[in-house]
Amino acid sequence: MEKLKIIAIVGSLRKDSYNRQLALTAQKLVGDQAEFQLLDFTNVPLLNQDIEFPAPEAVKRVRVEVKAADGIWFFTPEYNHFFPGVLKNLLDWLSRPVSDSEPQVLAGKPAAISGITPGMSGTGLAQDHLVTLISFLNMDVMNVPRLTIPNALQQVNKDGKLELTASLSYLDKQVQSFLKFIRSRK
């Protein structure tokens, strides 16, 4: 059986992002059950229709990576009860057709969503907005389970690194569910 490819999209550009660390924890849990790579979109420019065609090199690259994936897993922070603008910008680029003959690359892709915040909300509101957008883009959203982790600082070790305790089994459950969800769509 060919190995599944999962691309993780982290909605924070911050080096020590808790959401990035959560994605890296998921990568460890996935282990050799699938390929699991974080999408680097730091150099994707702000969308401006004046530069849409031909697409900038960074946009071409992320489109190729997303197109090759069997599933996309979002790890999103919550900014003002929404998902961050950098993620909206990336999704706006990905929402556009690749060319006259090639449609956008997100349609039909299985998608999972997780998020972590030092606050109380667990990113639930941001996730709901993200579901609205990616459903509009015809992604195949796994709504259950989603993972919302509040109070991130309760799961940070003495070196300031995320070390999941209470949430680890929930993340593992989401890993197994997403692998099964993707396989059921093949």
For ligand FNR, the binding residues (CB under 6 A) are 12, 14, 17-19, 77-81, 117-119, 121
Residue 5: which of 144, 110, 107 has the closest Cα? 110
**Backbone torsion region of residue 15, taken as left when φ is above 0, otherwise alpha when ψ lies between -120 and 50, otherwise beta:** alpha
Q: How far is the CB of 153 from ligand FNR (least distance, A)?
A: 10
Nearer to ligand FNR, 18 or 181 (CB): 18
Nearer to ligand FNR, 60 or 81 (CB): 81
The C-alpha atoms of residue 166 and residue 134 are separated, in whole angstroms, by 29
Number of other CB atoms surrounding residue 70 within 10 Å:
19
Nearer to ligand FNR, 97 or 118 (CB): 118
Residue 34: which of 74, 69, 65, 64 has the closest Cα? 69
Q: How far is the CB of 183 from ligand FNR (least distance, A)?
A: 29
- Angle 48-50-53 (CA atoms, 0-180°, nearest 5)? 100
Nearer to ligand FNR, 19 or 174 (CB): 19
Q: Would you give the DSSP letter of residue 6?
A: E
Q: How far is the CB of 167 from ligand FNR (least distance, A)?
A: 14
Q: How far is the CB of 75 from ligand FNR (least distance, A)?
A: 8
